[in-house]
């Protein structure tokens, strides 16, 4: 069965609730985009024993998520 392209989109009702500041709606939007955000935060980092390790920069993830929440709250729906 072919998946509908709209299955992966955030619903309009969820967007409206998130823009209004509804905490659960914002958390659902963040959860929806969490893996996408993590894909931008991966990289090689030097460990304590001078070895390189491929991992996710959690600080960068939190910064991007905070910016997303900030933009959600100022988003204008017409």
Residue 17 has pLDDT above 90, yes or no: yes
pLDDT of residue 59: 94
> What is the tally of structural domains in the chain?
1
Is 76 a member of any domain? no
DSSP 3-state assignment of 41?
Answer: coil
Domain span at residue 55 reads: 8-71
Residue 4 has pLDDT above 60, yes or no: yes
For 21-63, what is each residue's pLDDT tens digit? 999 999 999 999 999 999 999 988 887 788 888 889 999 999 9
Per the structure block, which two tokens stand in for 26? Answer: 């914002």
pTM for the model: 0.78
* H-helix or E-strand spanning residue 25: helix 23-40
Is 3 a member of any domain? no
Is 42 a member of any domain? yes
Is 49 a member of any domain? yes
How many whole angstroms separate alpha carbon 55 and alpha carbon 58? Answer: 9
Per the structure block, which two tokens stand in for 30? Answer: 């963040």
């Amino acid at each position: 069965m072919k998946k509908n392209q709209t299955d992966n989109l955030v619903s309009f009702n969820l967007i409206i609730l998130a823009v209004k500041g509804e905490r659960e709606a914002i958390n659902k939007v963040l959860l929806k985009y969490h893996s996408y955000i993590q894909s931008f935060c991966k990289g090689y980092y030097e460990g304590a024993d001078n070895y390189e390790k491929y991992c996710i920069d959690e600080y960068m993830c939190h910064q991007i998520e905070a910016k997303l929440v900030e933009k959600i709250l100022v988003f204008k729906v017409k």
